[in-house]
A and B are shown apart, each in its own frame.
Chain A
Amino acid sequence: MEGENKGEQRSVRVPPPLTTYFLDNGLEVVLSPERSSPTVGVGVFYRAGFRLEPEGKTGFAHLFEHLMFQGTTKVPKPHFGNLINSAGGLLNGFTRHDYTAYFEVLPSSALEMACFLEGDRMRSLDLNQETLRNQVDVVKEEVRVNVLNQPYGGFSWLWLSQYAFATYPNAHNYYGEFADLEAATVEDAKEFYRTWYGPGNATLVLVGDFDVAGAKAVVDRHLGKVKSRQEPPDPILDEPLPTRRREFHREDPLAPTPQVAVGYPTAPFGHEDHLPLALAARILTDGRSSRLQRALVQEQKLLLHVGGGPHYPIGDSFEFRGPALFTLEATPRPGTSTSEAVSALDEELERLGSDGPSETEVERARKRDLSAYHANNDSRLGRLRELGIMAAVHRRPQLVDELPELFNSVTPTDVARAVRRWLKPERSSVLHWEPSAQRRPR
C-alpha cells in the first residue's frame, strides 16, 4: 500500500460522539448525535431471538415481533404505523438468533413521538386473540413467499444450522413449523412479553440530529417510567464441537440445479480467532479478487458462484453470541458435482491455513471493513443497527468505533491460525441441496 495517496491528505478517522448510560429500570441507552441532516434513527433491541423460543413454539420470537406492531391499550391498531408514516418516517423490525430489533427513521421533530411509542409498546402491548390469529396467518404467508414457494427457499441459513447443531436452541426451525405457529396462544405471548421484553433486557439507540441533553430528557420522560421486570437469565447455548464431517442431502422440487453449503462452528466473540475469521471471510469470498472466486470460479472453472462468512447470509461476525456457523455456499458449474465442489473448497481452505494470506490481502480486507464502517455511519439505519447489535448482543456499543483499530492489529499469522483451527473438514457439516428426482411439472 505504500506509495499510494501521493501527497494527498489521508482522512483521519474521528469517531462520532457516543454517550451510553442506564436508566433506573435497567434500560441501556446509547446516544450517537450526528447533525448534518434533520433526521433521527430510533431503535430498540431486545435480547430475545430465535434461540430462546420454547420447545414446541418454533417461530415464536419472529411471530412475536409481528405482534409488537399490533397496538397497545393507548395506541390501538393500526395507529402505530400511521403515526410514524404521517410524521414522515419509516419503520420496521427484524428477528435474528440472539436479538430482535425495532426501528424508526424519521424527521428529527418526531424524536419524542417515536420514544413515546417505543415506551408505550414496552409497557402496555395489547395482546389479544384477534390480532394473534391475524398475524399467524400473515407469518405463514411470509414463510410461503420466502421459503416454500421459492427454489432454494431458506437455503442455507434456515436449514444448515438444523443439521449442523444438536441442541434445540441452535438447531430448530426459526421461521416456525406451521403446527407450532397455529398452536400459539395469547397466554404464550403474554409470558414471552413478560419474560423477554422488559427494559432490563433491552437497549435503546438514538442516532442523528439531536442534542444529548434534550434527548436524555425525552428518553427519561417516555422510557424512564416503564417498570423494571426481573431480568431473565442468559440462555445456555453451548454444545460440543463436532469431530467428523457429516453430509446431508435435501431435495427441492423447485430447484433447477444443485447447490451446496458447508458450515463450520465459528469462533465466539472475544476469542483470539474471532476477528481473524472475519478477515478470512473477506479474503476467501469478497469480490472477484477473493481466493475462492479466483481459484474456483475463474481459474479452475468448477463453480459459478461462491459466498460465505460467519453467520452468512443473514448476518456477520458480530450478530451472535453462542454457537454459530462460518458458512460457505457454492453453486457448482454444470458438470461439477456438489462433492467435487466441497473438495475444491477444502483444498483452498487448507492452502490458506498452511501458507497464510499475504500482508496485502489482509490490508485489503481491512480497507474494505473501514470503508464499510464509514458507509454505515452515513446512514441512520446503518449506524443504529451496528450500535444496537454490539450493545444488545455483546454489551459493548463502543466496539463499533473501536473495530477499525482492532482489525489493524490482526496479522496474516492470526488469520492462518484461525483458519487451521476452525475451518477444517472434521468440524464441518455439508448440506447438498438437490433438485428432486421428480421435479414438479411446470
Chain B
Amino acid sequence: MKDAKASGSEPLEDVPKPGSVPPVKITGVSQAQLSNGVEILVVPRPSVPRLEFRLSVPAGASMGESAAVSELFAMGLPLGTGTMNQSQLSERVQDLGGSLQVHQDHDRLFIQAAALAEAEEELYAILAELVTEPEFPAADLATERAKLLEGLRMAKATPHFPASEALQSAIYGDHPYGRSEPGETAVRRTGRAALLDFHQHTFTPWGAQITVVGQVEPRRTIGRIRRAFSNWAGPRRVPQVPAVRPIGSDELLFISRPGSVQTVVMSAASGPTHGHPDHIAVTLATAVLGGGFSSRMMNNLREDKGYTYSPHARLENHLRDGLAVASMEVRNEVTAAAYAELLYELARLATTDVPEAELQTTKSYLAGSRVIMLQTQAGLASALAQLRAHKLDHRYLEQYSKQLLATTAAEVRAAAARYLAPTVMTTVMVGDPAAAEGLDALAPVRIQRTARRR
C-alpha cells in the first residue's frame, strides 16, 4: 500500500457486507391549527417517557428594528412573567424534569423545551404564559445586556466570528442575512419598551409552529396545546424576510490578526435552500467536498497533507437562501498551499463527475446520518421544527433518501459548477498577516489591517 495510495473504494476481502440504509418512517403524525394561526404537529415516539417541544416563531435575528432588539428579546424571554421571575420559571420547569432554551437563527426564534411525559400539561401551561406575558424586568434585563456585551467581546476575540461576519456581509450586503452583530451603543439603548413592542408587533402567533415529539397521545396533546395557547393573540401578519440578491466578491479578504498561530479560511457562496430543485444535488456536492470522515477535504487536506484538523463543508439552509460554506483552520506556513488545495477540490468537483463508488458512499452517509439523527425524540423534533419553517413536513424527510439515491453524478457536477466553483465562492481569511504570503498568486488579495469596528 506504500506505493500506490489506496483510494478507499476498492473492495476488501473478509469485510462483512452491510445491507442498504433503511428508509425513514414517521408514523402517527397529527396536525391541527388554532384559530389564532398556530400550526401544531405531533409525532408519538414512545421510546422513553419524555417529550420534546419546539415552538418556532417567525421572529428571527434578521427581523425587528435592529439586531439588538431581536437578540435581547430572545435572551429576555427566560426572565419570566408577571407571576414568576426567572428563577421561579426555571424551578417550575426543572420540577417537571424539564429544560427550556431559547435560540434564534436569521429567520425564526425557537423555544426548545422538554419534560417527563407525565408533566406534559404543566409544561404547556408554563410555556403559554411565557409566550403571552413575558415581563422583561428592567433590572434583570440589565444583566442580560451585560451578558450580551461580554459575549460579543469574546466572539470578536476569536478568529472565527470576524471571518463569518465579514463573509456574510460580503455575500448578502444590506440584506438582513448580512446584518452584523449589534454594537455596544445599540445594546445599551435597547430597553424593556423596545422588547414589549417587538413582542406585540413581531412575535405573532400567525406563522408560529408547535412541534411535539415524545411519549404522547396525539389527539390529547393537541387538545392540551389548544387549551394552553388559544388565548395567544397578535396581528394577523407574518413578518417576511426579503428575497436575497447575493453579491459576493472576487477579492480574497484577509483580516489581519497579528499573532495568530493559524489561519481561518472560509469560502462560501449563495445556493439553494430546502425545497429548491437543486437542493439535494448541492447537499451531495458539499458532502463529497467536506462532509464527514470520507470527504475530499478530509482526505486531501488532513489525512494526506496534515494541514488542518477539521476541514469541512456544508450547506446552511436559511429560509430564503442556502449558504454553501467550506472552512478550515490551517497553520500559518501552509495557508496559501492549503487554499490552493481547496481551490483544486472545488474545481475538480465542478468539472469532473464524482466516481460512482464515492458518490454512493456519500449518499449512504447522508441518508444514514439522517436516520440516526431522526431516531431520538429531540433529533426528530428539531429537524421537523426546522423544516416546517420551509413549509415542509415529515413527508419531506421520508422522501429525502429516495431523492438522494436518484441524484446522478452529472447533476452533482452541474450543481457544483453553478454553486461551488472557485469563481462563485467568496473567501475570507483571518490570520497573522505574514501568513498571507503567496495568496496573491491565487486571487486578488485585500488585507484588512484591523478588525472592523461598527
Interface residues of A (CB under 8 A from B): 1, 4-5, 8-11, 13, 34, 36-39, 69, 71, 74-79, 81-91, 105-110, 112-113, 116-117, 130, 133-142, 144-145, 148-152, 253-257, 286-289, 293-294, 297-298, 301, 304-305, 331, 333-334, 363-364, 367-368, 370-371, 374-375, 377-380, 440-442
Closest approach, in angstroms, between the C-beta of A191 and any C-beta of chain B? 23
- Measured in the bound complex, the distance between the Cα atoms of B6 and A1 in whole Å is 62
- Measured in the bound complex, the distance between the Cα atoms of B90 and A368 in whole Å is 12
Do the beta carbons of B147 and A140 come within 8 Å of each other?
no
Is B66 part of the binding interface, using a Cβ–Cβ cutoff of 8 Å? no
**Known contacts A289-B88, A304-B150, then 20 further A-B pairs from the complex at CB < 8 Å, ordered by chain A residue:** A11-B117, A11-B118, A36-B47, A77-B303, A81-B8, A82-B9, A90-B369, A107-B19, A112-B18, A113-B16, A116-B16, A134-B303, A138-B309, A145-B262, A145-B309, A149-B262, A304-B146, A367-B96, A378-B50, A442-B450
**B residues within 8 A CB of A294?**
87
Contact of A257 among B6, B150, B298, B360 (CB under 8 A): B150
- Measured in the bound complex, the distance between the Cα atoms of B158 and A255 in whole Å is 9
Do the beta carbons of B294 and A88 come within 8 Å of each other?
no
Do the beta carbons of A144 and B153 come within 8 Å of each other?
no
**A residues within 8 A CB of B115?**
371
Contact of A287 among B94, B375, B376 (CB under 8 A): B94
Q: Provide a sorted-by-A list of 11 A–B residue pairs whose CB atoms are within 8 angstroms.
A: A4-B122, A76-B6, A81-B292, A81-B293, A82-B293, A107-B22, A141-B262, A150-B159, A363-B95, A364-B95, A442-B156
Contact of A151 among B96, B157, B365 (CB under 8 A): B157
Most buried by A among B8, B50, B292: B8
Interface residues of B in 252-310 (CB under 8 A from A): 257-262, 292-294, 298-299, 302-304, 306-310
**B residues within 8 A CB of A304?**
143, 146-147, 150
**A residues within 8 A CB of B146?**
304, 333-334
- Measured in the bound complex, the distance between the Cα atoms of B5 and A71 in whole Å is 13
Closest approach, in angstroms, between the C-beta of B372 and any C-beta of chain A? 5
Interface residues of B in 31-52 (CB under 8 A from A): 47-50
- Measured in the bound complex, the distance between the Cα atoms of B159 and A77 in whole Å is 32
**A residues within 8 A CB of B372?**
39, 89-90, 105-106, 380
Is B171 part of the binding interface, using a Cβ–Cβ cutoff of 8 Å? no
- Measured in the bound complex, the distance between the Cα atoms of B95 and A69 in whole Å is 44
Closest approach, in angstroms, between the C-beta of A69 and any C-beta of chain B? 8
Do the beta carbons of A442 and B257 come within 8 Å of each other?
yes
Closest residue of B by beta carbon distance from A379:
B376
Do the beta carbons of A145 and B329 come within 8 Å of each other?
yes
- Measured in the bound complex, the distance between the Cα atoms of B215 and A10 in whole Å is 12
Closest residue of A by beta carbon distance from B86:
A288
- Measured in the bound complex, the distance between the Cα atoms of B162 and A254 in whole Å is 14
Do the beta carbons of B309 and A256 come within 8 Å of each other?
no
Most buried by B among A39, A253, A287, A297: A287
Closest residue of A by beta carbon distance from B11:
A79
Closest residue of A by beta carbon distance from B150:
A304
Known: A79-B8, A87-B18. Is A253-B259 also a contact (CB below 8 A)? yes
Most buried by B among A77, A86, A138, A368: A86
Do the beta carbons of A88 and B368 come within 8 Å of each other?
yes
**B residues within 8 A CB of A37?**
47, 371, 375
- Measured in the bound complex, the distance between the Cα atoms of B80 and A298 in whole Å is 13
Do the beta carbons of B143 and A301 come within 8 Å of each other?
yes
The A interface is mostly helix, strand or loop, or mixed, namely mixed
Most buried by A among B17, B299, B303: B303
Do the beta carbons of B97 and A371 come within 8 Å of each other?
yes
Is B364 part of the binding interface, using a Cβ–Cβ cutoff of 8 Å? yes
Do the beta carbons of B6 and A107 come within 8 Å of each other?
no
**A residues within 8 A CB of B303?**
77-78, 134, 138
Interface size bracket, B side: 35 or more
- Measured in the bound complex, the distance between the Cα atoms of B260 and A148 in whole Å is 8
Do the beta carbons of A78 and B308 come within 8 Å of each other?
no
Is B233 part of the binding interface, using a Cβ–Cβ cutoff of 8 Å? no
Do the beta carbons of B88 and A141 come within 8 Å of each other?
no
Is B367 part of the binding interface, using a Cβ–Cβ cutoff of 8 Å? yes
- Measured in the bound complex, the distance between the Cα atoms of B294 and A81 in whole Å is 6
Contact of B375 among A39, A89, A130, A289 (CB under 8 A): A39
Do the beta carbons of A112 and B16 come within 8 Å of each other?
yes
Is B98 part of the binding interface, using a Cβ–Cβ cutoff of 8 Å? yes
**A residues within 8 A CB of B451?**
442
Is B119 part of the binding interface, using a Cβ–Cβ cutoff of 8 Å? yes
Most buried by B among A89, A257, A288, A289: A288
- Measured in the bound complex, the distance between the Cα atoms of B143 and A440 in whole Å is 28
Do the beta carbons of A305 and B49 come within 8 Å of each other?
no
**B residues within 8 A CB of A138?**
302-303, 306, 308-309
Do the beta carbons of B18 and A110 come within 8 Å of each other?
yes
Closest residue of A by beta carbon distance from B299:
A78
Known: A10-B118, A145-B329, A331-B150. Is A297-B22 also a contact (CB below 8 A)? no
- Measured in the bound complex, the distance between the Cα atoms of B78 and A90 in whole Å is 35
Closest approach, in angstroms, between the C-beta of B332 and any C-beta of chain A? 9
Known: A4-B119, A37-B375, A257-B153. Is A85-B95 also a contact (CB below 8 A)? no
Known: A11-B116, A77-B303, A82-B8. Is A113-B18 also a contact (CB below 8 A)? yes
Closest approach, in angstroms, between the C-beta of B342 and any C-beta of chain A? 15
Contact of A113 among B15, B118, B119, B361 (CB under 8 A): B15
Contact of B361 among A82, A255, A380, A441 (CB under 8 A): A82
Do the beta carbons of A116 and B14 come within 8 Å of each other?
yes
**B residues within 8 A CB of A5?**
118-119
Contact of A76 among B1, B20, B117 (CB under 8 A): B1
- Measured in the bound complex, the distance between the Cα atoms of B6 and A294 in whole Å is 58
Contact of A289 among B8, B87, B360 (CB under 8 A): B87
Do the beta carbons of A149 and B50 come within 8 Å of each other?
no
Closest residue of B by beta carbon distance from A140:
B331
Is B168 part of the binding interface, using a Cβ–Cβ cutoff of 8 Å? no
Closest residue of B by beta carbon distance from A369:
B97
**A residues within 8 A CB of B20?**
88, 107, 109
- Measured in the bound complex, the distance between the Cα atoms of B88 and A298 in whole Å is 12
Contact of B157 among A10, A34, A79, A256 (CB under 8 A): A256
